[in-house]
Amino acid sequence: MNQPDRYSNVLFGQDVQKCEIKKDTRLQNAATFTFLSEDHTMGNLIRMKLHEDPKVVFAGYRIPHPLEPKMVVRVQTTNDYPADMAITTALSTLGNEFHAFSNEFDQQRENFWKRN
């Protein structure tokens, strides 16, 4: 069967990097970030969070091939703001939002079980 092993996409060894950064040599403050084992879900979330930043000129993502477990995000920022700082800020903000969502969900679930 052509289906890849599903656990090989989520379990990484200590020597494997989750993200690879490649600075663009043609454009100032532009870079490409390749994330292993990610898909459209995270790609769209990261892209939308980057678009909320006024210092981000361009943000887009693509999945090179459907059977290849990687996602590529391209970011271009203004002259005074490096692309790696923009994506770090976006990922940090998303992490905080996920944490807040998880806490709210747990609280609402507890409230539900107390009522029923």
Write the class of the CATH domain 16-110: alpha beta
pTM over 0.85: no
For residues 56 and 76, give the distance between their C-alpha atoms in angstroms, rounded to a whole number: 6
Residue 67: what pLDDT? 84
The residues with which 46 forms a beta bridge, in sequence order, are none
Average pLDDT, the chain: 90
Amino acid 12 reads: F
Q: List pLDDT tens digits, range 46-62.
A: 999 999 999 999 999 99
Q: Distance of alpha carbon 27 from its chain centroid, rounded?
A: 22
Q: Are 18 and 12 in contact (CB under 8 A)?
A: yes
